């Protein structure tokens, strides 16, 4: 039962409808923009100070937690290729959907699912086999486990359905997260079948599918266009694509001039889509929505050589904020023009695979080694704090903010960080 205090409508400009202010139902939150309305968030903490609770997890994973009511859901894996342990046998590979109590971090239940074999023998950079963040609504939790399929569970851990979306594997693993749009679950199965799927939330049956989704590890985003209609945006190698989320009909395509695979998810505001990607050459662009056909000449507003190959940006007050995944440089860019306002190297920064989180006037950047940089969300660079968990495992998941707390997972623990 949803408590009365949840009934607060929150809108983020993209067409996510009504959500609850204390919930975080999918990757990067409502609308997939990486923006939280949470206030009173912690700025400074360490391994001993500011940790409300931490819970050891059944296994590693790069997926982020999602929040619904008093529960937290996240995925992990065990049994095979777990960092720091013997390799094990593929037959022992299990994906886990774990449910935790939000107040205490206590594990309420753990549902383990056997893998469909053969699986990828090795995943590069220890990303592992649980990189896709689940999505949750009032009835079900939806998980994407690569070639093992899309699975739906009820809130007690009972599996309701499973849908196959392809059987290919890749050395980088599978990473795009499911998105809920109306009565559908949208899944980018680029790795598994180069296909974008819409599955019925109740049954898992295919509502529509679109082929040609190449080299795309990003999570699709629904955007309200300049004409007041919804568009489903996904980035593939060389192009941004826009679809009708209810039918899969393509609205438009735009050349990106980015030669690499596409990992960061797009962000949007006022009918303009902003995308990052690639390691050299063109690495960012802005595109106006509500087009038809090839809009490269008519709707592409600017391109830039400044971007990120892995982590996604945030949009705030007509500026884009992001951090380079491999160079440790934080950027602020004018959204209307693409002009770089600042580029500042963060001290002792390593790699960043987690996406940026914007909350309470601050941007949180998390490195793979667990260092969190807190930067003021303003065009003048100001580093407010640097924090470290002193956790030797890897941090690939994007942080979550809700009700004055941060939820950050490593390969070993889920942390709840709060002001003391």
| pLDDT above 70 for 194 | yes
Assign 7 a pLDDT band (cuts: 50, 70, 90).
Answer: very low
> Between the CA of residue 10 and those of 7, 116, 185, 358, 416, what are the distances in Å?
9, 39, 21, 15, 23
199 close to 185: Cβ distance less than 8 angstroms = yes
17 close to 168: Cβ distance less than 8 angstroms = no
Q: Which residue, among 289, 281, 282, has the nearest Cα to 221 in the 3D structure?
A: 289
Neighbouring CB atoms inside 10 A of 118's CB total: 10
Distance between CA atoms of 261 and 217, rounded to whole angstroms?
A: 8
369 close to 394: Cβ distance less than 8 angstroms = yes
Please state the rounded mean pLDDT for residues 210-214: 98
Assign 21 a pLDDT band (cuts: 50, 70, 90).
Answer: low
Q: Residue 420 is encoded by which pair of tokens?
A: 């003391």
303 close to 266: Cβ distance less than 8 angstroms = no
Predicted pLDDT of residue 135 = 98
215-269 per-position pLDDT tens digit: 999 999 999 999 999 999 999 999 999 999 999 999 999 999 999 999 999 999 9
Please state the rounded mean pLDDT for residues 371-390: 98
| pLDDT above 70 for 11 | no
Say whether 141 sits in a helix, a strand or coil. Answer: strand
Please state the rounded mean pLDDT for residues 279-301: 97
Phi, psi dihedrals of residue 291, rounded to the nearest 5°: -95, 180
Distance between CA atoms of 195 and 144, rounded to whole angstroms?
A: 14
Assign 420 a pLDDT band (cuts: 50, 70, 90).
Answer: confident
Please state the rounded mean pLDDT for residues 82-93: 95
| pLDDT above 80 for 6 | no
CATH architecture assignment, domain 4-418 = 7 Propeller (2.130)
Cβ neighbours of residue 263 closer than 8 Å, sequence gap 6 or more: 175, 217, 218, 277, 309, 310
| pLDDT above 80 for 19 | no
Concatenate the DSSP letters of all residues of 54-92 into one string: EEE-SS--SPPPEEETTEEEEEEEESBS-TTS--B-GGG
Assign 16 a pLDDT band (cuts: 50, 70, 90).
Answer: very low
Helices (H) and strands (E) in the chain, counts: 2, 36
Phi, psi dihedrals of residue 202, rounded to the nearest 5°: -80, -35
Predicted pLDDT of residue 13 = 36
Predicted pLDDT of residue 10 = 37
355 close to 340: Cβ distance less than 8 angstroms = no
Please state the rounded mean pLDDT for residues 14-30: 71
Please state the rounded mean pLDDT for residues 300-317: 98
Predicted pLDDT of residue 9 = 38
* The residue to which tokens 């968990």 are assigned: 389
Predicted pLDDT of residue 223 = 97
Distance between CA atoms of 340 and 138, rounded to whole angstroms?
A: 42
Predicted pLDDT of residue 48 = 87
Domain range summary for the chain, segments of one domain joined by +: 4-418
Concatenate the DSSP letters of all residues of 360-377 into one string: TTEEEEE-TTSEEEEEES
Mean of all residue pLDDT scores within the chain: 94
Distance between CA atoms of 85 and 250, rounded to whole angstroms?
A: 46
Cβ neighbours of residue 53 closer than 8 Å, sequence gap 6 or more: 104, 105, 415, 416
384 close to 362: Cβ distance less than 8 angstroms = yes
What percent of the chain lies above the pLDDT cut of 90? 93
Say whether 15 sits in a helix, a strand or coil. Answer: coil
Neighbouring CB atoms inside 10 A of 129's CB total: 29
Predicted pLDDT of residue 8 = 35
Q: Which residue, among 112, 107, 110, 119, has the nearest Cα to 95 in the 3D structure?
A: 112
Phi, psi dihedrals of residue 32, rounded to the nearest 5°: 70, 25
65 close to 73: Cβ distance less than 8 angstroms = yes
| pLDDT above 70 for 5 | no
183 close to 168: Cβ distance less than 8 angstroms = no
Beta strands in 126-183 (DSSP E): 135-136, 140-144, 150-154, 159-163, 179-181
361 close to 327: Cβ distance less than 8 angstroms = no
């Amino acid at each position: 039962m949803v408590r009365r205090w949840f009934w607060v409508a929150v809108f983020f400009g993209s067409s996510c409808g009504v959500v609850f202010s204390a919930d975080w139902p999918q990757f990067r939150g409502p609308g997939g923009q990486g923006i939280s309305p949470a206030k009173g968030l912690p700025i400074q903490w360490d391994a001993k100070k500011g940790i409300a609770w931490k819970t050891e997890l059944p296994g590693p994973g790069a997926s982020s937690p999602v929040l619904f009511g008093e529960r937290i859901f996240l995925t992990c894996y065990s049994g095979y290729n777990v960092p720091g342990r013997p390799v094990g046998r593929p037959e022992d590979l299990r994906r886990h959907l774990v449910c935790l109590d939000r107040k205490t971090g206590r594990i309420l239940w753990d549902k383990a699912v056997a893998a469909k074999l053969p699986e990828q023998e090795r995943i590069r950079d220890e990303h592992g086999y649980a990189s896709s963040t689940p999505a949750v609504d009032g009835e079900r939790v939806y998980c994407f486990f690569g070639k093992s399929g899309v699975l739906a569970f009820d809130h007690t851990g009972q599996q309701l359905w499973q849908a196959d979306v392809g059987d290919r594997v890749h050395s980088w693993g599978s990473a795009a997260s499911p998105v809920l749009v109306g009565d559908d679950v949208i899944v980018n199965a680029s790795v598994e079948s180069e296909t974008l799927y819409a599955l019925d939330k109740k049954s898992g049956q295919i509502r529509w599918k679109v082929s040609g989704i190449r080299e795309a590890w990003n999570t699709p985003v629904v955007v309200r266009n300049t004409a007041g209609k919804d568009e489903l945006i996904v980035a593939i190698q060389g192009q941004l694509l826009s679809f009708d989320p209810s039918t899969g009909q393509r609205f438009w395509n735009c050349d990106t001039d980015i030669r690499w695979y596409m990992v960061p998810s797009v962000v949007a505001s006022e009918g303009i889509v902003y995308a990052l990607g690639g390691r050299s050459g063109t690495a960012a662009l802005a595109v106006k929505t509500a087009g038809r056909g090839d809009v490269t000449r008519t709707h592409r507003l600017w391109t830039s050589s400044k971007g990120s190959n892995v982590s996604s940006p945030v949009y705030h007050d007509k500026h884009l904020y992001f951090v380079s995944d491999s160079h440790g440089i934080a950027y602020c860019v004018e959204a209307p023009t693409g002009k770089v306002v600042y580029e500042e190297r963060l001290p002792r920064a390593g790699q960043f695979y987690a996406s940026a989180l914007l909350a309470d006037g601050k941007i949180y950047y998390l490195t793979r080694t667990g260092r969190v940089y807190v930067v003021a969300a303003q065009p003048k660079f100001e580093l407010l704090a640097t924090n470290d968990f002193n956790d030797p495992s890897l941090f690939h998941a994007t942080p979550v903010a809700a009700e004055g707390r941060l939820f950050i997972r490593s390969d070993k623990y889920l942390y709840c960080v709060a002001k003391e």
